[in-house]
Amino acid sequence: MSEEVDMSALQRIEHTSHALTDALAARDWEAIRELDRQCRACVDALAAEEQVDEGQVRAKLEGLLAVYRQLLDASQGERAAIVDEMSQLKHAHKAAKVYHLFR
């Protein structure tokens, strides 16, 4: 494969990485899901390439890894918030039942 094709794959990874960062900032989970799919396809295509600049690949993948760490942190935070909200709803539901018992 030519270096131009490799650069194109690297550019797609970089573009997708930036788009993931933007989607994360907007908490657009649907866009993140689609961009994750695209990113996996880009990484798979890059892995299939025979002639690549390992330094550039490493740099792009390290940047992508940092974005995925941010995504993981954000998704864990969202999950914790949902668990907390569900716990509060369950507590409120139990309190309402007790209130109706003594009414």
Whether 82 is in a domain gets the answer no
Q: How far apart are CA 26 and CA 18, in angstroms?
A: 13
Based on the structure, what is the number of domains in the chain? 1
Instruction: Evaluate whether residue 37 is within a structural domain.
Output: yes
Give a yes or no: residue 85 inside a domain. no
Whole-structure pTM value: 0.72
| pLDDT at position 7 over 90 | no
- Residue (of 99, 94, 3, 20) closest to 56 by Cα position: 3
Provide CB contacts within 8 A for 56, sequence distance 6+: 6, 7, 10
Q: What is the pLDDT of residue 39?
A: 93
Residue 63: domain span: 3-77
* Spacing of C-alpha 8 from chain mean position: 22
- Torsion of Cα atoms, 13 then 14 then 16 then 22, to 10°: 160
94 in any annotated domain: no
Residue at 14 is within a domain? yes
Model confidence band, residue 33 (pLDDT cutoffs 50, 70, 90) = very high
In a domain? residue 24: yes
Mean pLDDT across the chain: 87
